[in-house]
């Protein structure tokens, strides 16, 4: 019997994320929500280098990105 999807995720991967198991036994639905702990901004930019952006803009983008991730992770509008 599977009690946690996290048992099947590599430990190195799990260390990089906050992870929570969601198990709805009645509906046989199991999933794990994961939120990355440390954001590498370069992974979220298209056709730009992170160092081409002014520091203030980088910080603004990081704040907006983190807020969006938290809202998706929590499943509700927080900000």
Using CB atoms within 10 Å of the CB of residue 9, give its burial: 0 to 12 exposed, 13 to 18 middle, 19+ buried.
middle
Q: In the chain, how many domains are there?
A: 2
Domain co-membership, 44 together with 73: yes
Residues 7 and 34 in one domain: yes
Gap between the terminal Cα atoms of the chain = 39
- pLDDT 10s digit of each residue in the chain, 79 long? 777 889 999 999 999 999 999 888 888 888 899 999 999 999 999 999 999 999 999 999 999 999 999 999 998 888 7
Return the pLDDT at 1.
74
In this structure, the answer to whether residues 32 and 16 fall within a common structural domain is: yes
Domain residues for 66?
A: 39-79
DSSP 1-51: ----GGGGS-HHHHHTEEEEEEEEGGGTEEEEEEEESS--GGGG-SS--GG
Q: What is the pLDDT of residue 6?
A: 93
Q: What is the pLDDT of residue 28?
A: 84
pTM > 0.85 = no
Tell me if 41 sits within 8 A of 62, measured CB to CB. Answer: yes
Same domain, 43 and 78: yes
Q: Are residues 48 and 23 in the same domain?
A: no
């Amino acid at each position: 019997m599977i009690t946690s999807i996290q048992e099947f995720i590599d430990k190195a991967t799990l260390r990089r994320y906050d992870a929570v198991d969601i198990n709805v036994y009645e509906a046989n639905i199991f999933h794990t929500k994961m939120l990355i702990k440390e954001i590498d901004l370069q992974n979220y930019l298209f056709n730009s280098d992170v160092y081409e952006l002014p520091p203030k803009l980088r910080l603004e983008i990081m704040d907006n990105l983190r807020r969006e991730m938290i809202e998706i992770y929590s499943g509700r509008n927080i900000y």
